[in-house]
């Protein structure tokens, strides 16, 4: 179970994956537009762009509002301890963290472009799970997954 339930309206997708906290953030103004954002573990580098690889206008040396929303939702989804450990933010004290935004000051990297497609295709994979037909066949191996 996740530490806390979160709503997916603003940030439909967030994950800790391949050494990044990454995800997709809905544009505040345009329903159809989404931003693809990430923080990298270790280096602390980050980036934000539209899914068509257009850089986010809010990104000027420091994380934009989409990145802040991303880390806020990441902390809701995974809990501060996991996000802090995954990103390797040694100075942060997870017990005292109330929202993800408080973690931004421990992130020491700068803007560093990655292809939005990499993260966006993860979002499509994510959505694929909710599109697979449910089933009534026996799945005995689920005996291993108890929570």
Partner 1 sequence: MSLTDLKSVPEPVVQTAELIGHLDEVFESGFGRLSSANLQTLASLAASFAGTPLAEPLDAAIAGLGRSEFVDRHFAAIAAARAAAHGAMHDALVAQASVALGRPRAELEALADTPGQAAPPRAAVLLESVRQWLMELAIAGFANLEVGALLPFQATLDAIMAEPALVRHAALLSGFLDELLTVFPAHGKPEVPRLRWADLWTRSMVLSLAPPTPAATREVKGELRVFATDLRQHDHVVSLVAFGALHEAGKPARVVRTQVSAFKVDVLQGDDLAGLLNEVGGKLLEAIAGGQGLKISGMLLHATGDLVWQEARAEVLPAKLKLAEEAAAVLTSPTALRPSARPEDRHPAVVEELVWLPGDGYAAVGKEARELSLGGQPFPLAFERWPSSDDLLAADLAGSKGLVALLRFDGGRWSLQPVMIDKGKPVPRMIGTGLQAVRGKAKGGNLATLKERAGKLLRKKS
Short-list 75, 73, 78, 108, CA closest to 90: 108
135 near partner 1 (CB under 8 A):
yes
115 near partner 1 (CB under 8 A):
no
In the list 14, 24, 34, 56, the residue contacting Zn ion (rule: CB under 5 A) is 56
Picked from partner 1, Zn ion, none, the partner binding residue 18 (CB below 5 to 8 A depending on kind) is partner 1
3-class secondary-structure state, position 5: coil
| 94, 96, 102, 103 alpha-carbon torsion, rounded to 10° | -20
Q: Which stretch binds partner 1 (CB under 8 A): 57-65, 91-99, 101-109, 135-143?
A: 135-143
Picked from partner 1, Zn ion, none, the partner binding residue 98 (CB below 5 to 8 A depending on kind) is none
Instruction: Specify whether the CB–CB gap between 11 and 78 falls below 8 A.
Output: no
3-class secondary-structure state, position 75: helix
In the list 19, 55, 109, 110, the residue contacting partner 1 (rule: CB under 8 A) is 19
Burial of 38 (0-12, 13-18, 19+ CB in 10 A): buried
Q: Choose between 113 and 117: whose C-beta lies nearer to partner 1.
A: 117
Q: Which stretch binds partner 1 (CB under 8 A): 52-60, 96-104, 105-113, 126-134?
A: 126-134
Instruction: Specify whether the CB–CB gap between 79 and 62 falls below 8 A.
Output: no
In the list 5, 91, 96, 98, the residue contacting partner 1 (rule: CB under 8 A) is 5
For residues 127 and 147, give the distance between their C-alpha atoms in angstroms, rounded to a whole number: 23
Which spans of this chain sit near Zn ion (rule: CB under 5 A)? 35, 48, 56, 58, 64, 66
């Amino acid at each position: 179970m996740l530490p806390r339930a979160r709503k997916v309206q603003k940030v439909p997708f967030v994950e800790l994956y391949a050494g990044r906290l990454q995800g997709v953030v809905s544009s505040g103004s345009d329903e159809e537009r989404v931003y693809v954002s990430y923080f990298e573990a270790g280096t602390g580098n980050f980036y934000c762009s539209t899914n068509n690889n257009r850089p986010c206008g809010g990104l000027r040396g420091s994380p934009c509002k989409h990145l802040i929303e991303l880390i806020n939702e990441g902390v809701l989804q995974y809990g501060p301890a996991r996000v802090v450990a995954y990103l390797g933010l040694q100075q942060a004290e997870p017990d005292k963290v109330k929202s993800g935004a408080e973690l931004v000051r421990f992130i020491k990297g700068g803007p560093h472009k990655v292809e939005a497609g990499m993260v966006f295709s993860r979002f499509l994979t994510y959505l694929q799970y909710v599109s697979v037909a449910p089933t009534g066949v026996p799945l005995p191996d689920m005996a291993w997954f108890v929570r």
